[in-house]
Amino acid sequence: MYVKICGLRIPEHATLAAERGADAVGVVMSEPSPRHATPEQATAVIAAARAANPAIDTVLVVREMPAVEAATTARRLGFDVLQLHGGYSAAEFADAAAIHPRVWRAASLATTPALRFGDYGEERLLVDSAVAGSGEPWDLRLIAGAELGSAWLLAGGLDPDNVADAIRAALPGGVDVSSGIESAPGVKSPERIERFIAAARAA
């Protein structure tokens, strides 16, 4: 089970996530998110994560940032992956991939019922709630019949106490969390980060 810990701004949290076995750490650069990170914070999170696990995926998460600007930013800051949320076209994904080859598509089955892996040339599909980063769970029955591929990531309203049940119900290739490992919006909890990774890994 691939585990992504998202919305990090503090290097110590990236170190903890990497040491406890996270496969990816995400940094949100999207105002006015309570998780919005500066370029300096992003660089520090990437360095800390890589120091703890050189194989970890570092992911730049953006919403509605122009695709070329997002890819250029991901490349300049040294992220491994670019995760795009919003109304991008397949052509915009191609433009981004020409600059930064590893691009993930984030979308919601609630708002995009015809969501299908590969339509945008994405490396992975992250299936989220209708409002990214809201901590709101969504109706996993929407997955029935959807062609999500095998490596898709389940996101939206996950936390240390519900992630195991969600994995058993949805059978994703991985999970992604942000609000559920916080003590307040934008404030990560080391204890919840550890518990989330352990619960996802044990499921």
Ligand X SMILES: O=C(O)c1ccccc1NCC(=O)[C@H](O)[C@H](O)COP(=O)(O)O
Binding site for ligand X (CB under 6 A): 6-7, 26, 28, 30, 33, 35, 61, 63, 85, 128-129, 132-135, 155-158, 176-180
Alpha-carbon span 94 to 31, nearest angstrom: 24
Q: Shortest Cβ distance from residue 153 to ligand X (Å)? A: 9
Q: Tell the smallest beta-carbon distance from residue 200 to ligand X (Å).
A: 12
State which residue, 135 or 190, has the beta carbon closest to ligand X. 135
Q: How far is the CB of 129 from ligand X (least distance, A)?
A: 6
Report the SS3 class of residue 184: strand
Task: Write phi, then psi, for 141 (nearest 5 degrees).
Answer: -65, -15
Query: Distances in Å between the alpha carbon of 172 and those of 43, 103, 118, 119, 188?
Result: 30, 18, 16, 18, 24
102 touches 83 (CB < 8 A): no
Smaller CB separation from ligand X, 8 or 52: 8
Beta carbon nearer to ligand X, 44 or 158: 158
Residue 130 CB, nearest approach to ligand X (Å) = 10
C-alpha dihedral, 50 to 97 to 170 to 203, nearest 10°: -10
Nearer to ligand X, 160 or 180 (CB): 180
157 or 174, CB closer to ligand X?
A: 157
Judged on CB neighbours under 10 Å (0-12, 13-18, 19+), 55 is exposed
Query: Cβ 26 to ligand X, closest distance in Å?
Result: 5
